[in-house]
Amino acid sequence: MLVALCGGVGAARMLSGLVRVKAPEDITAIVNVGDDTVLHGLHISPDLDTVTYTLAGMDNRETGWGVVGESWTVMEELARLGGEDWFRLGDRDLATHLFRTGRLRGGEPLSAVTAELSRRRGIAVRLLPVTDDPLRTRVTLAEASPLGPAGTEVGFQDYFVRLRHDVAVSGIRFEGAAAARPSAGVLESLELADAIVVCPSNPVVSIGPVLAVPGVRDALVARRERVVAVSPIIAGAALKGPADRLLTELGAEASVVGVARLYAPWAGTLVVDTADAGRAGEVEAEGVRCIVAPTVMSSPERAADLARVVVDAAV
C-alpha cells in the first residue's frame, strides 16, 4: 500500500499520476486541513476538495481549485446583496460545502464525510484528513495590509486569497495542532506503507500542518528509508503559489537544498527536477538521497512518469 502526504494542486497532480501506476484502492492520501475555513456558515476544505475533484475528473485545471464548467449564480446574487464574495464559491462547489456542513452539524467526523463524498464521486483512493480535530493555519503578516498593521495575524485564506499572498510573512502557526489527533487510519497507514510519497506541495503551509499533528512526524521518522519527497521548488522557485517566498521569509532557503534540509529528519529521498541536476551533490550532503527527474506534471502522462520514478525509489 502506498501513502501520499498531500496539500492542494501539486498533490492532486501527483495523485493523478500515482493512480496510473498503482491500483487506486492501494493508495491512501493523508490530506492537509490547515487551509480549511468557515465562510457563510459553511465548512470549506480546499485541499480535500482539490484532491477529490481532480481524482473524480471534475477539477478546474486552469485555477487548480473548484469544479470545471462552474456557474456562479449564487455568488453573483450574493455580491448584489453586498455579501462577502472575495472567496469564489461556484454553484456546484457549494453543493460540496452544503453537504459537508450538514453532515458535520449532524455530528459526523470530517473523515466520515470525506469518505462519503469520495464514494459518491466514484473515487477508490482512500482520502483521509490528517485530523478530524480543528487545525487552522494562521499567518502573521510582516507588513501593513488592508487587513491591519504589520504584526496582524490572519487566517490562511485571508492571506492566500484575500491578500493574494502578495504580502511578506513573519510567522506561521498551526492553531489546534497540539490537541489534534491523527484521524483513524493515518498512523496505521504510515506504519504499514510500502512507500510514503510527500507530494510537491508547499513545505511550510501544506506539508507543515500535516507533520504538526502529534504522532505523524515520528511515524515518518520511523519509516524514513521508505519516504520519498518530490521538491515543490524548481530552480529556486515554486511553480504556483508562495512556497518559495514563504521559505525565504521564514529563514529557510528557497531551493532543493533548502527543502532537503527541512525534510532530512524524516525523508530518505528527495526527487528534484532536471533543472536542479547540478545541486544533487548538495542535496546528498544534507544526508538525503537525491534522484533527478522531470517533475513538472504538465499532463497526466508526465505525472505518471514521475509517479513511476517515485514508486521505484521507495523500494
152 in helix, strand or coil?
A: coil
Minimum CB distance to ligand FO1, residue 205 (Å): 8
Q: Are 100 and 113 in contact (CB under 8 A)?
A: yes
Exactly one of 65, 159, 174, 263 binds ligand FO1 (CB under 6 A); which one? Answer: 65
Closest to ligand FO1 by CB, 47 vs 132, is 47
Q: Please list the helix, strand and coil fractions of the chain in percent, rounded to the nearest 5, in that order.
A: 45, 20, 35
Minimum CB distance to ligand FO1, residue 226 (Å): 26
Binding mask 180-219 for ligand FO1 (x = CB under 6 A): ----------------------------------------
197 in helix, strand or coil?
A: strand
Exactly one of 66, 200, 208, 209 binds ligand FO1 (CB under 6 A); which one? Answer: 66
Q: Report the distance separating Cα 90 and Cα 313, nearest Å.
A: 39
Residue 47 makes contact with ligand FO1 by CB under 6 A: yes
110-130: burial string, b at 16+ Cβ within 10 Å, e else: bbebbbebbeeeebebbbbbb
Residue 174 makes contact with ligand FO1 by CB under 6 A: no
Cβ contacts of residue 183 below 8 Å, gap of 6+?
109, 110, 111, 128, 129, 130, 131, 132
Exactly one of 8, 34, 129, 208 binds ligand FO1 (CB under 6 A); which one? Answer: 8
> Which region among 58-66, 107-115, 207-215, 260-268 touches ligand FO1 (by CB under 6 A)?
58-66
Exactly one of 15, 44, 267, 288 binds ligand FO1 (CB under 6 A); which one? Answer: 44
Residue of 194, 268, 192 whose CA lies nearest to 229: 268
How far is C-alpha 38 from the geometric centre of its chain's CA atoms? 18
Residue whose C-alpha cell is 470525506: 114
Beta pairing partners, 227: 196
Closest to ligand FO1 by CB, 153 vs 282, is 153
Exactly one of 13, 19, 49, 255 binds ligand FO1 (CB under 6 A); which one? Answer: 49
Question: Residue 95, Cβ neighbours under 10 Å: how many?
Answer: 11
Euclidean distance between the first and the last CA atom of the chain, given in angstroms as a whole number: 12
Closest to ligand FO1 by CB, 62 vs 149, is 62
Minimum CB distance to ligand FO1, residue 21 (Å): 25
Residue whose C-alpha cell is 521518522: 221
Number of residues that bind ligand FO1 (CB under 6 A): 16
Residue 93 makes contact with ligand FO1 by CB under 6 A: yes
Minimum CB distance to ligand FO1, residue 64 (Å): 6
Residue 87 makes contact with ligand FO1 by CB under 6 A: yes
Binding mask 277-296 for ligand FO1 (x = CB under 6 A): --------------------
Cell of 70: 462552474
Minimum CB distance to ligand FO1, residue 35 (Å): 4
How far is C-alpha 76 from the geometric centre of its chain's CA atoms? 29
User: How many residues appear in the chain?
Assistant: 315
Summarize as ranges the residues that interact with ligand FO1 (CB under 6 A). Answer: 8, 35, 44, 46-47, 49, 64-66, 87-89, 93, 157, 160-161
